Chain A
Amino acid sequence: MIKKVEITPENDKFLNKVNELSGQVVTLCEQCGTCSGGCPLVAEMDITPSQWMRLVQLGLKEVLDYKAVWVCASCFTCTVRCPRKIDVSKVAEALRQIILRKAIDYIDLKAIPKEELACLPQIALVSACRKFTG
């Protein structure tokens, strides 16, 4: 499928925002796919890490509509393997933060069953709050 993408100043603005938040230069990604190949959670994602990198390179905000960066567990496997030394985990965090900073939460804490709350370790709950709430 061929898709025509027109790069407007708006697209550049989005790319720059992600670069700024992540401290990475997303355009350095050469789409080798190492991050996607090694990602332990890729099977659960709707787009792969290399796909979200590509969408960001093109400044396409539709990247924010996918679930993938929310499935990312910040395990840093992509980070240690990227041959271009891009911290892909940080790019995922930047994309999550763009949503969370609009005070849109990804998790409804009230929906966690009581029996789960009783057994989950605090580090699980606190980190889920840190990663999924704004």
Chain B
Amino acid sequence: MTTTKTETPKLTGTENIKIPYYPGCTLKTTAKNFENSAVAAARALGIELLEIPRWNCCGTVFSLTDDDLIHHVASVRNFIRVQEMNDYGLVKNENRLVTLCAMCFNTLKSTNLRVKNNAEDLKKINDLMYREENYGGKVEVLHFLELLKSLGFEKIRDRVKKPLKGLKIAPYYGCMILRPQEIGIDDPEDPTIQRDLLLSLGADSVDTPYKRVCCGSYQTVKEKNIVAELAYDILSHARKEGAEAMATVCPLCAFNLDHRQKEVKASHSDFEEIPVFYVTQLMAIAFALENECYGFDQNYVDPRPLLASKSLIK
């Protein structure tokens, strides 16, 4: 299960990569702990996540009807901002756009694919935004996990100062970084990318088949009890497999699995609370970064007692 150690040279701190970064709305509010920990962890790896100037909402969900072009405009506008970052010299020949939020990732990548494959659609959208420069279709939408993978998990292992020894984490992927297949960053049925990251941090990765089962997504607004039932299945299976905490990269999954534990407890007396981390919070701990970037006060189930029991925090 562990990746073999290769002869990769260690990071010197001089090879700084500057890369356009799209935060999205939720990373600035309820998932500020996700952004802070990711930006700090990236910096520790020599990657500067440069926030796109004047970014706007991506639309949150990719419009699935064929005749609906107007809802793709918002995403495309963000791609134009990436082009401008290159034009103004904020980045050098860097067409990659990195996202942390899984929903933004899915929406942006799906839109990008649609306009790259349909010249007519792209022209219509470009013509509509007559005050903007045209989008040339060069941007590549990446999820932060993909960026880490391209860097190499060995490099991440080399940066670890406080291995998460004995911490049993069940990675949860949800939907938006896995499906549909042409958008997903990993095997939609048996993803491993978070497992590889967790192993490089020194944690134990606990596998459950629920790792790619939907948490109910936006149904949490209207049908929170449906979401609580799904969360119960996902979390109690992880517990049964020996997990002490969950890891995710989606702020909506995090809300449904973490905050909805209040509803889960109300309907299932046997349920035992389980902390839900953003995987980047675990990176920040393993890299021994400043406490300020952890943001555990935003987690619903406080993970600090668990971390303290493993001597990972004081």
A interface residues (Cβ-Cβ under 8 A, vs B): 20-23, 40-41, 44, 71, 73-77, 79-80, 87, 89-90, 93-94, 97, 106-107, 112, 116, 119-128, 130-132
Interface centre among B59, B65, B101 (most CB of A within 10 A): B65
Whether A126 and B57, one on each chain, are in contact in the complex, defined by CB atoms closer than 8 angstroms, is yes
Number of interface residues of B (CB under 8 A): 44
Whether A128 and B255, one on each chain, are in contact in the complex, defined by CB atoms closer than 8 angstroms, is no
Given contacts A21-B65, A75-B175, contact A107 B30 (CB under 8 A): no
18 additional A-B residue pairs with CB within 8 Å, beyond A41-B214, A122-B60, A127-B60: A40-B216, A76-B179, A80-B180, A80-B184, A80-B189, A90-B64, A97-B68, A107-B221, A107-B222, A121-B31, A122-B25, A123-B24, A123-B218, A123-B251, A123-B252, A124-B221, A124-B252, A127-B217
Interface centre among A73, A94, A116, A132 (most CB of B within 10 A): A73
Residue of B nearest to A122 (CB): B25
Q: Could you say which of B25, B31, B230, B259 contacts A119, with CB atoms under 8 Å apart?
A: B259
Whether B101 and A20, one on each chain, are in contact in the complex, defined by CB atoms closer than 8 angstroms, is no
Give chain A's interface secondary structure class: helix
Whether B217 and A73, one on each chain, are in contact in the complex, defined by CB atoms closer than 8 angstroms, is yes
27 A-B residue pairs with Cβ-Cβ distance under 8 Å, sorted by A, are: A40-B230, A73-B175, A73-B216, A74-B175, A74-B217, A75-B175, A75-B217, A76-B175, A76-B179, A76-B180, A77-B175, A77-B213, A80-B180, A80-B181, A93-B64, A120-B220, A120-B255, A121-B29, A121-B30, A121-B252, A122-B26, A123-B24, A123-B103, A124-B220, A125-B221, A127-B103, A127-B252
Chain B residue contacts of A124, Cβ below 8 A: 218, 220-221, 252, 255
Whether A123 and B66, one on each chain, are in contact in the complex, defined by CB atoms closer than 8 angstroms, is no
Give chain B's interface secondary structure class: loop
Question: How many Å lie between the Cα of A116 and that of B263 in the bound state?
Answer: 12
Question: How many Å lie between the Cα of A130 and that of B63 in the bound state?
Answer: 9
Whether B221 and A128, one on each chain, are in contact in the complex, defined by CB atoms closer than 8 angstroms, is yes
Q: Could you say which of A21, A112, A128 contacts B218, with CB atoms under 8 Å apart?
A: A128
Question: How many Å lie between the Cα of A7 and that of B79 in the bound state?
Answer: 47
Question: How many Å lie between the Cα of A120 and that of B223 in the bound state?
Answer: 13
Q: Could you say which of B29, B68, B179 contacts A79, with CB atoms under 8 Å apart?
A: B179
Interface centre among A76, A112, A128 (most CB of B within 10 A): A76
Chain B residue contacts of A123, Cβ below 8 A: 24-26, 60, 101, 103-104, 218, 251-252
Question: How many Å lie between the Cα of A94 and that of B101 in the bound state?
Answer: 26
Interface presence of B46 (CB below 8 A): no
Whether B213 and A127, one on each chain, are in contact in the complex, defined by CB atoms closer than 8 angstroms, is no
Interface residues of B in 225-265 (CB under 8 A from A): 226, 230, 251-252, 255, 259
Question: How many Å lie between the Cα of A128 and that of B224 in the bound state?
Answer: 12
Interface presence of B188 (CB below 8 A): yes
Given contacts A41-B214, A94-B65, contact A73 B219 (CB under 8 A): yes
B27 to chain A, nearest CB (A): 9
Interface presence of B290 (CB below 8 A): no
Whether A20 and B230, one on each chain, are in contact in the complex, defined by CB atoms closer than 8 angstroms, is no
